[in-house]
Structures are given as structure tokens and as C-alpha cells.
Amino acid sequence: MILLLDIGNSRIKAAMAGAAGIGAVSAVAHAGDPAATLTQLPQEKPERIAVANVTGAAHEQQIEAALRARYGIAPAFARTQGECGGLKLAYAQPQRLGVDRWLMMLALWHETAGAFGVGAAGTALTYDAVDASGQHLGGFIAAGLSTHLQAVLGATRFGTGALGEQYSDGLGQDTEACVRQGAFLACLGALEHAARRHPAPRQVISGGDGPLFQPWLPDWSPRPQLVLEGLLAWAQLSA
């Protein structure tokens, strides 16, 4: 069994994977200290540990030490590669592309070699396009939904009450709804434009806020655990 760990900006997702694929996924907030949060993982000892970490090198040594102490195994940290399994990145410096974006692309390419677009809606909003040959065409990184809201409220002086989460593709009729809809439509429009600019038979949405956008992206497939899927693909390719 392989223990898969997706250590994001605010949460850790964990799952065991075996011959039957990825098992039940658990998620816990790490409040900026992922190494300390790893003590909440199940104690069942895996055969291997694969980690996707976007919290930076400053946390990596602590994460490795915590996993060694808990399981007696050295974890393998996924690194973005310029070419892997036929997937080729557009970046001249591949290491500058976030490992979470790379793993999402790797998951989809490893599953079916064909053109696709993949968006991820979380703290940041990202999108990447890959053509039928496995060539990454590029992508974008923008503020995610909550980051948009915080930016507007932090840079303006008008008063608002609770914003709520009643998102739609329409316009707001009070200040709270206008702020909420402005952030939502900015993110939705960016995804829609990217998909029009780079049409592909598969468009996929992932990330914690993915379910908020998916009703207005009816042709997009929801894949909430895509980073973990990519991590498993990378672990299999690296075995």
C-alpha cells in the first residue's frame, strides 16, 4: 500500500492506495504547520509514502522527519519534471511550475493520452491546457474565489454584511451580492475563456471550490482528488 499525501496551502489530504486504486480520502486543516498535523494521520504503516507539497522547502525537512518518526519510512516527494510519461511541459524552467498543477496534468494524461484542459479552484485559480501529443500549451494562475473576495473587501471602504455563498451566473442586487458575484464571475469567466481559447474534448475541474463552479460548467467533469490521482500515477511511473 502507498500512503498518498497532498499537502496544500491550507489542508492535508491523505489516502491509502493499492491495487484497487485510491481508498477513502481524509482532509484536515494544517494552520500553517503541516508537519505537526501529520500526527493525525492513521497509524497503519504503508509500504511507501508519496508526497505532493506546495508549502515550500522550509516545511519539507519537518514533514520528512515527522513521517519518518511516525512510520519509519522515508517519504518520496514528487518534483515537477519537464517530461514524464509522454507529458511535456511548456515551462523553460519546469521546477517553477507548482507540483500540484503538474500532478493534475499527469493524472489526466496517464489515464488517457489525449487533449484536455484542467482547472483548479482553491486559494488560487489555475488552468492548464495539454494537446493531443502531450505537449503542455501553458496555463494561468489567478486569485481564487475567497482571495478575490478578500482583495475587494480589503481594498475598498464600503460596508458589507455577511456575503453568504449563494452564487449564480447572474448579477447582485445589493452590495453583498455584488461583491460575491463579482468574485464568482471573474473566476468563472476566466475558466470559460481559457476553455474557449484552447478547446479540448476533456475539460476537468478540481480544487476545494470546484463544486461551486461545476453547475455552470456542465461540460466539465468534476475530479476533486486529481492531485492524489496524479501522485499515484507518478509513484507508479517512478517504481
Catalytic residues: 100
- In the structure grid, which three cell numbers stand for residue 23, read together? 481508498
> What is the phi/psi pair of residue 238, to 5°?
-90, -10
- In the structure grid, which three cell numbers stand for residue 212, read together? 461551486
Edge to edge, what strands does the sheet with 202-206 contain?
136-143, 124-130, 116-121, 202-206, 221-222
- In the structure grid, which three cell numbers stand for residue 68, read together? 519518518
- In the structure grid, which three cell numbers stand for residue 223, read together? 475530479
**SS3 state at 182:** helix
Contact of 119 with 127, CB cutoff 8 Å: yes
Amino acid letter, residue 239: A
